[in-house]
Amino acid sequence: MIKNLLLGILMIMTASCEKGNQKTLLKEEKVQSKEFYYTILGYGMPDMERQRLVEGISEKWKIKNIDVAGCEVTQELMDSVAVENKKTYAALEKRYGKDWQVRYEKDIQAFITKQADIMDILIINKPFREKLKSCNTEIDGVLKEVRQLGNSEVYEVIVYNFDKNYKKIICCTVQVDTKTRTVNLIK
């Protein structure tokens, strides 16, 4: 068991250090998003928890983070990322003000607490619990993606699981309003 866990961690670390292709990643981002998002480029070993938090508030801030390379980077790549990010930071400052980075970081930290609040709301929601049962998912084992919808107190939560072949299967999608503490089952 421990051997398999260590092997899995090693595989994840190796995969996250692979070199990325900047042009491909940027092209994919434009295709996936119909709205305009500011793009902040990065490289190096990714912080998976931070990536999940940043993704959760990306719609509110209209900021996407894209890793253009793994652990192996050249000075040329680092310089080009710095040049591009400097332009992006200037545009973000123009739109959100000089203190945008402080407020952005504050929102990331607040999103941690918000996720716990969302789970508190979902746990007591009977239709949600019944949906989890139909997906063979226990309430304490919920795998979810949470993202804030715009600048509101409404969050979209995609609940998923994996089949025996490790294919991601979506159980349901809900919208949780943390202000009114209501849950709307979408699918």
The predicted-structure confidence for 110-169, as pLDDT tens digits, reads as follows 999 998 899 999 989 999 888 888 888 887 778 889 988 888 899 999 988 888 888 888
Q: What is the mean pLDDT of the chain?
A: 81
DSSP calls for 96-151: H-TTHHHHHHHHHHHHHHHHHHHHHHHHT-HHHHHHHHHTT--GGG-EEEEEE-TT
The predicted-structure confidence for 44-71, as pLDDT tens digits, reads as follows 888 888 998 999 898 889 999 999 988 8
The predicted-structure confidence for 95-125, as pLDDT tens digits, reads as follows 999 999 999 999 999 999 998 899 999 989 9
DSSP state of 45: S
